[in-house]
């Protein structure tokens, strides 16, 4: 008998699906009014821990246009009002068609079944490489 999937995990999986499809309006309904995402690294332009801004819908539209994005979910962990997802995000470079593959962990704080806060962990230097599936798999042995 399989473990029952909680409302929080279902919502997180659903929003990842929304992102893959580019469905901003569906994703937006899964977020609290005070939602914020923080990227736990230093950006290319030197900003330490960049965050979502005041115009979230506009920012989401910029991110959600990425075509052929895929998520290979490796692990999901859940606590009280918290969901963590370890995954590999993949998508083709629109110009070269080479595929970016990035190991990511997202930590999502939940409130009433919606995502309230997020922290996105990855190595930005790896994010800009065209790693093969075999190279990525080496990190999971």
Pairwise CA distance, residues 52 & 71, whole Å: 21
Handedness of CA 119, 60, 43, 46 (dihedral sign): negative
Cβ neighbours of 136 (radius 10 Å): 16
User: Which tokens sit at 43?
Assistant: 């950006």
pLDDT per residue as tens digits for the range 21-30: 999 999 999 9
C-alpha distances out from residue 70 to 36, 55, 91, Å: 23, 25, 6
Closest CA to 32 of 119, 118, 114: 114
Q: What per-residue confidence (pLDDT) applies to 1? A: 56
Q: What per-residue confidence (pLDDT) applies to 103? A: 96
- Weakly modelled stretches of the chain, pLDDT under 70: 1-2
What domains can be seen in the chain, in order of their start residue?
A: 7-138 (3.10.450.50)
Q: What per-residue confidence (pLDDT) applies to 2? A: 67
Q: What per-residue confidence (pLDDT) applies to 50? A: 92
Please, which residues have CB within 8 angstroms of residue 13's CB and are 6 or more apart in sequence? 5, 73
């Amino acid at each position: 008998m399989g473990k029952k999937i909680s409302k929080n995990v279902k919502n997180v999986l659903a929003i990842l699906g929304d992102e893959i499809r580019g469905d901003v309006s569906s994703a937006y309904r899964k977020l609290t009014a005070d939602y914020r995402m923080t990227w736990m690294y230093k950006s290319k332009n030197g900003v330490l821990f960049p965050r979502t801004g005041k115009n979230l819908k506009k920012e989401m539209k910029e991110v959600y246009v990425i075509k052929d994005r895929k998520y290979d979910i490796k692990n999901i962990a859940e606590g009280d009002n918290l969901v963590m997802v370890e995954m590999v995000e993949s998508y083709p470079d629109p110009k070269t068609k080479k595929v970016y593959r990035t190991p990511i962990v997202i930590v999502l704080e939940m409130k009433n079944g919606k995502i309230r806060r997020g922290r996105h962990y990855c190595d930005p230097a790896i994010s800009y490489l065209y790693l093969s599936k075999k190279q990525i798999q080496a990190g999971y042995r």
